[in-house]
Each structure stands twice: as C-alpha cells, then as structure tokens.
Structure 1
Amino acid sequence: MNKLLVTGAAAMVTLSGAAHAQSSVTLYGLIDAGVTYTNNQINTTGAGHSNWELKSGPVEYSRWGLRGAEDLGGGLKAIFNLESGFNVNNGQYTSSNRIFNRQAYVGLSSREFGTLTFGRQTDDMVDFVAPLSLTGTQYGGTHFAHPFDIDNLNDSFQINNAVKYQSPDFAGFKLGALYGFSNQAGGFSNNRAYSLGMSYMWGPLNFGAGFMQLNSDAATAGQLNTNGAVTDTSGSSLAGVLTSNAVPLGALSSRQQTWGAGVNYAFGPAVAGLVYTQTNLTQLFQSGLSTHFQNFEGNLRYALTPAVELSAAYTYTRAGGLAGGGNPHWNQVSAMAGYSFTRRTDVYVQGVWQGVSASSGSPLGAAWINGLTAPSSTNNQVEATVGLRHRF
C-alpha cells in the first residue's frame, strides 16, 4: 500500500512538473527616477523661473507588468502581457482610470506564422522606427523626444481596441500591422487607428519604417468618441498650446497621419543612426487649420567601456501652416552618459537644449522639452538630469 502511495505521489509530481514546464508567468518592471534642473519654466503667474524637481521616468517610464505563455503544441503558444505605468514620486498610476495603462493584450504566437494579439497595444511607429531613434531607447528616452512627441516615438500613447499582427523573421525581414476599432455604432471611423511597419537587419545594418493614421469625426461632429482607439496621447502639450485644453491630438484633428523611417549602422563599439518622421494634422479642432511637422534626427552611441555608454542626438523640426502664417522650426541637442553597476542597475546624467524660432503670431514660440512640467517663457529651454534606473 505504501509503495502504491509513493508511486502515485511521484507520478503526480512528474505530471505537475510537466504541466508547469509548458506554461510560465513572469513579473517584470523598471523604476527610473532622477533630479531634474530646468533653466526656465512658466509658473502659475505666467512668469518664467528655474526649477528643481524629482522626476519619475526621465529616460524610461516607470512600469511593472506580467507576461506569460502557454505551450499549445506544434510551435503554437498562447501569450499575454499586462503592463502598468506608475509615478515613482507618489506611487500613483500614470492614468487615473485604468490599471494596465501601457499594455493589456492576449493572443497567439507561432514560430512559423508570427504573432496575433488583441487589446491595448503599441503602434508600428513605436515598434519599428522608435528603436532607431534615441528617444525610443534606454540611451535617451523621454527628454530626447521630438517636440511634443508628435510622432509618438517616445510611446506616449497606446492604441485601444487593437488587433495586431507581427510576422516571424524572414531572412532579416519583419512585417507588422495594427487596426484599432472605434467601437462606436454608426461611427466606424470616429476615433479609429491603423498602422503598418517593417524592419530589415543585415549584419551591422538595421533599417525600419512605419506608418500610423488616426481618424476622428470630432472636427466636424463636435463630439469626441471617448471609447475609441486613442483616448490618451502625447501631443496633449501641443493641444494645450493651440486650444488651452489638454486633449488628444487624435481627437483634435479629423486625421492625424504619421510616417517615418530610420537606419542604424554599428561599427566597433559605436552605433550611428538617422531618422526622419512626418506628421500631418488635418482640420485642427477649434482652429480649422491643417499643418505638418517634420523631424530630422542624427544620433550616435558609443560604448566607452563595457560599463560606460555615451550617446548624443541632434534633431531639427519644422512645421507649416500654423496661426500667424509662420513656419516654426526647432533645434534640439541632447546628450547622455550612463554607468552600469550591473545589467539591471545603472546611473546616468543627461542634458537637453531646445531652441525654437517662430513668427510673432505663432502660438508655438515657446520652447518646451518633452517630459517637463511646463514650457519656457522664452524661445529656448535647458534641462539637466541625474538619475538612477533599476530593472527587475
């Protein structure tokens, strides 16, 4: 009898171990905090003053998440990812009305056919172009973003109600596509989104291209679809400048169209890159204007030692068709140095200077580095940050 019990127990342990080996759930996260100095920010009275502040996510947004997979056999897996961004200064979620505000999806993954997922997800500009720009990497991040993060390379917003496909690797090529439903009866195109992307890697060469379009009927119907594809966006800073309201650009215009491409080339311990993006905004809400923003970025990374990484970028941005007939343009210079204690923990120092030239009638005459609390009272702004980052 005892032998039967021992044998049965051993069989149960074996089966349990086999079942456990076929599925996994991983807790992961990143905490990034730093002290930031800004030479000029507008305060409540409208005057400009320098500012010292503790910032959450100066380089990468602080977040935690759960990801998992279950082996279904034949190279097919069920997968999921739930990811939440938070403010390390006060412990609050970065979005007040959702727990998993960064990503929340479930899907199927196949070695042979690729990955199909459903839920709140990143678009293809983030997946294919952002890694070639310093703002989309750990070597630059939030403050390195192009003005207003107008092209979303800093992943300032995600797409709700999204069906997304990513292909497997075909001799260095990868393809992607996403569609975000409006979820509105009688308003199929009111706040919907779709994007496409591709990448190619060959030895030291890495190329990527992407396209994203957001549609809204708000400009003509006067009502926002708050359950649609885009409900929180960067560009809310630009919205504040143009309309005195922090509302999504996807809702501000009848169409927001962004496309871009980039290339990185590695040689020895260095990686050099070029990125171009353009965002077209059609029929801006409350202004009736249509405009476009073009970003030209050159960047360089250099591994001075295995523990010390240096990076720098220059971005030139120009816009057209805005109020006052002016064509504002921005120059931005960014630099960062990081030291890694381990693969999970590092310290860094970074700085950004931004200058803007605009006509006297333009509402975009004030500099505003991405991620700072407020714009400058003048046409230039400087920030410097010393920070600590830990991954788990």
Structure 2
Amino acid sequence: MKKIVKRVVSPTALMALMALSAIAGTAQAQSSVTIYGVVDAGLVFVNNQKTPSGGTGSVTALNTGGVTPSIFGFKGSEDLGGGLKANFNLEGHFFAGTGQGGQWGGLFGRQSNVGLSNSYGTITLGKQYSPAVLAYAATDPRGLKETFSGLISWALTQRPLNVGTATAPANSNSPIDVFVANALALSTKIADVNLSGSYSFGENAGSNAANRVIALGAVYTGPVTLSASYQSENGQKFGLIGGTGVQTRKYSVGAGYVIGDATLTVNYLNNKNSDPASGSELAQYRVYGAGVNYRTSVANTATLAYYYSSNKVGASDNSKTIILSDDYALSKRTTLYGLVAGVKAGSGYTAGSAFGVANNNLYLASGGKTITAVELGIKHAF
C-alpha cells in the first residue's frame, strides 16, 4: 500500500492556504489517503467442460484471481478530534489477463462508501462488503479464496432461480450476495465478539420490502473462532402488483481451532429460495465444509479441504469436492500458489451446487461427471 503524504501546489495557492489558515486560527485535522490493490493471475487446466456441440472437453486458460480478486482502490480517513474519524473506501475490480474492468456495477463496483468511526464502532453508508459474507469467511476452510472455496457456493446458491424474470427481477442491491449496495451498516466490538449488520434500502415506491437486503454477522475470536451469519433479500417487485420476486434466505455457522501450526475449520451454509406468493420452496442448498491449514514453514502454508453441497429440492443436485493447495510467500506482498482439485457432480447438478474456478472464467462441473483442475499462479499486493 502506498501512502500519499505530499500535495503539489503552486506558490500562489500555498500562500492563499496559509493566509486562510491564519485567519481561521484553527488547527487542521490530520488526514491520509492510501492507494491499494492486488494483481492475481494464474494458469488453470480443467477437464470435462461443456462444449458448444453439447459434449465435454478440456480447457486451459489464464485465470485472474486464483487466491484473491484483482482489485484497486483508494481509502482514507480524517481525524476529526475527540476520537472521531471520517472514513471512505472506493474499490474496483479488473481482470488481470485483459485489463477489462467494471465488474459488479462499474468503476467502483465493489465498494463506494463513506462513514464515521470511534472507539464504540463504525457507521458506513454506500456499497460495501456484506457483513454476513465477512463472518462466513472467518471459518471457511479455504478462507473464501476465489477458486474452489465456500465463496462460490455463497455467490451462486441464489442462482439460477434468483436471477429473476421480467415480472419478478432479482435483487439489484446484491447481485452475487457478496456486496450490498445502497446500504447503511453498523459494526462494533464487544469483548472478543465482532458484531456487524447492514440494511440495503429497496428504494421502491409502494413497498419498502421490495429489493431490500438485510445482512448480519458475528465472529468470536478466543481460544476458538466461532462465526454466524444471516442474509435475506427480496426481488425488485416483492409485494408489488405485477410480480412477486424470489425470496432468498441464507445463514451460516462455523468454528475454527488452532493446534500448533495447524488450523482446523468446519462450517455449514444453508440457502433457501422460495416463492413468496405460494410459499413453495424453489431450492434449498446445504453446503458442508471442513479443512486443515498447516504451516510447514514461516513462508509456506498447505491446505486440505473438503466440501459437500446438495439441493434439498433438486434430485441428484449435489457435488463432492476435495482440494489440496499450497501458498508460498516470497515476501509480505508476493505469493506463489498452486492447487489440485476434484469435483464429483451428481446427475442433476446445477450452478447452485457449484464448486469450481470462478472470476473471469466460470468453470464448473458437468452433471454426472468428475472434473479435475490444476492451477498455478502468482499474487502481488500493493
């Protein structure tokens, strides 16, 4: 990360600023701006992918985001005195292989928010990470890495059913359930428990519930790590004439425990999609995860993880995934990584039971097939 500590001004402007400061006779608040980001790219091989002709075949690609997404951002704070600070964060997403950006809503599609903080907590307004997904990440066996982790299930269990239709469009405040837009968020820490929540305003005349998102997260950090999260969202026409909109409700619980150089994690995710008009359950995805991270040295960490995902409503809509990965830190900012993964998909497999390569390349399993994936890449943070 790079701190901006100098501002170039003309001599005339500098004199004017000094004069104004002298007239005001007040001390200037301390402020700082940080430029940050990550570039992550790697080569990936995946077999048993669907071909245009309807069969299956292998593919080799340059994937962006094997460990983390490739992002850039600006964040800063201003000391307002008395322990109060003003904060902002602007964060965008791009594809390392092509330089293309604009994912998840434009230039700053990941985060665009401003807020205040003090010793009691933080209040934030704007687009930001869902408090629920941040809590879920605390006990995900692979820490919500961009490929082959609980992140894919979190993002896709509200699909394809919650993509929406012309009469019942999906929630525009939370397209993949990871970010929440038009949101008011609060966070605080009580003893060893971090609590956070957000409310995304639907902004639809006639129904405050339409297009609304509520997200809650709690993480306890002590001898063990415990996490719990809840997120609910309604379609854009929920409760309005001309369309109902799919309801999505998800929750997760998890735990982690450190034994020497090993960290054991387990978690559970439940995502239910339903039709509010009839009350019928459209899908209910249940994802179980378990894993161990082992530090073989100060610079190296190996991970073994297993996930089982199934749809209570869909016949044979399930997947079993095992991943062996390794991350080697060349420095504090540069990491080499590699993984080998296998996914066995049920005959009725859908994107909701997904495990695979995400980000700019969405390579998932094919129904009734077993895929093998190999990925090697490098991540650099700045």
Q: TM-score, normalised by structure 1?
A: 0.79
Structure ranking higher in helix proportion: 1
Alignment deviations for residues 124-179 of structure 1 (CA, whole Å, 9 cap, x no partner): 22121212113434xx4332236643469xx7631110000001x32201211110
Aligned counterparts of 1:71 and 1:185: Cα–Cα separation in 2:
38
Q: Would the alpha carbon gap of residues 123 and 147 (structure 1) be closer, same or farther in structure 2, given more than 3 Å must change?
A: closer
Aligned counterparts of 2:39 and 2:236: Cα–Cα separation in 1:
38
* Counterpart residue number, 1:29: 37
Q: Would the alpha carbon gap of residues 222 and 28 (structure 1) be closer, same or farther in structure 2, given more than 3 Å must change?
A: farther
Q: Which moved more, 1:97-106 or 1:140-149?
A: 140-149
1:179 and 2:199 are equivalent in the alignment = yes
* Counterpart residue number, 2:369: 379
1:270 and 2:256 are equivalent in the alignment = no
Q: Would the alpha carbon gap of residues 21 and 37 (structure 1) be closer, same or farther in structure 2, given more than 3 Å must change?
A: farther
Alignment deviations for residues 363-388 of structure 1 (CA, whole Å, 9 cap, x no partner): 67997624143444442212110000
Counterpart AA for 1:208: S
* Counterpart residue number, 2:165: none
Aligned counterparts of 1:135 and 1:370: Cα–Cα separation in 2:
14
* Superposition map of 1:82-121 within 5 A: 82-95=90-103, 97-111=105-119, 113-121=120-128
Task: State how many pairs are aligned.
Answer: 341
CA RMSD in angstroms, aligned pairs only: 3.1
Alignment deviations for residues 274-316 of structure 1 (CA, whole Å, 9 cap, x no partner): 111100100299xx75221111111110110001110121111
* Counterpart residue number, 1:240: none
1:132 partner SS: coil
1:312 and 2:301 are equivalent in the alignment = no
* Superposition map of 1:208-219 within 5 A: 208-216=227-235, 218=237
* Counterpart residue number, 1:356: 345
Aligned counterparts of 1:128 and 1:144: Cα–Cα separation in 2:
15
Aligned counterparts of 1:367 and 1:28: Cα–Cα separation in 2:
31
Aligned counterparts of 2:307 and 2:257: Cα–Cα separation in 1:
18
Counterpart AA for 1:342: S
Q: Would the alpha carbon gap of residues 80 and 367 (structure 1) be closer, same or farther in structure 2, given more than 3 Å must change?
A: closer
* Counterpart residue number, 1:131: 138
Are the aligned partners of 1:146 and 1:317 in contact in 2 as well (CA < 8 Å)?
no
| Residue from 263, 266, 272 that aligns with 1:280 | 272
Q: TM-score, normalised by structure 2?
A: 0.81
Aligned counterparts of 1:38 and 1:71: Cα–Cα separation in 2:
50
Q: CA deviation at 1:22?
A: 1.2
| Residue from 315, 329, 340 that aligns with 2:329 | 340
2:137 partner SS: helix
Counterpart AA for 1:114: G
Counterpart AA for 1:346: T
Which 5+ residue runs of structure 2 have no aligned equivalent?
1-14, 159-175
1:391 and 2:381 are equivalent in the alignment = yes
Aligned counterparts of 1:127 and 1:342: Cα–Cα separation in 2:
26
1:125 partner SS: helix
Counterpart AA for 2:65: G
Q: Would the alpha carbon gap of residues 132 and 151 (structure 1) be closer, same or farther in structure 2, given more than 3 Å must change?
A: farther
